Amino acid sequence: MFVKKMETALVHQIYEEMYSFYLYLAMAEYGAAEGMPGLRHWMQNQAMEELSHAIKFMNYISEKGGNAELKALQAPPKSWKSVKVMFEEVLKHEQHITSCINNLVDIAISVKDHATVNFLNWFVAEQVEEEANAKAVIDMIKLTGSAPGGMFMVDRELAARPAALSPLNPTPVA
């Protein structure tokens, strides 16, 4: 059973993860519109990862006897000034999610909910990876400078990201 403050905070995190899913789907469509199938692939896989995070939170809340209420999502942006600007927004967004996860850990510690602290430790480590992945793409884009074909090479690199597993189907998403 949850302390209500903890349950409410975890339910809000479902919203954050679902918005991340929605945001990365919008970014995938931006990639498609820009003729960058690798970017589309990278973002679709990122979206699936965020969906799996939301489902992990939902399952955990349910296991603890709580109610994983879903809230309406705000519409994400539709376009960005450039791929570099978009990935800078990805990094900023992931830093926001890191802050949210850290806040959840603080709440769990304050209410002495050791099981939830244990559950959240996976997300703490995951956020280090999420921020590093976004930063790596930004660095790659910076390396191309204004070189002809630079974004073509970045797109090819983004296409090499392994396919994500769907949280509802263990078959890789193409």
Could you tell me the sign of the dihedral formed by the alpha carbons of 52, 57, 58, 64, in that order? positive
> SS3 of 49, please?
helix
Percent of the chain past pLDDT 90, that is, above it, reads 88
> SS3 of 70, please?
coil
How far is it, in rounded angstroms, from Cα 127 to Cα 132?
8
Q: From residue 139, how far is each of 30, 127, 144 by CA, in Å? A: 20, 18, 9
Per-residue confidence band for 173, with pLDDT thresholds at 50, 70 and 90: low
Q: What is the DSSP letter of 122?
A: H
Bigger pLDDT: 140 vs 174 = 140
Q: Tell me which of 21-25, 123-127, 161-165 is least confident.
A: 161-165
Domain map (residue ranges) of the chain: 4-70+80-159
How far is it, in rounded angstroms, from Cα 50 to Cα 56?
10
CATH number for the region 4-70+80-159 comes to 1.20.1260.10
Average pLDDT over residues 115-127: 97
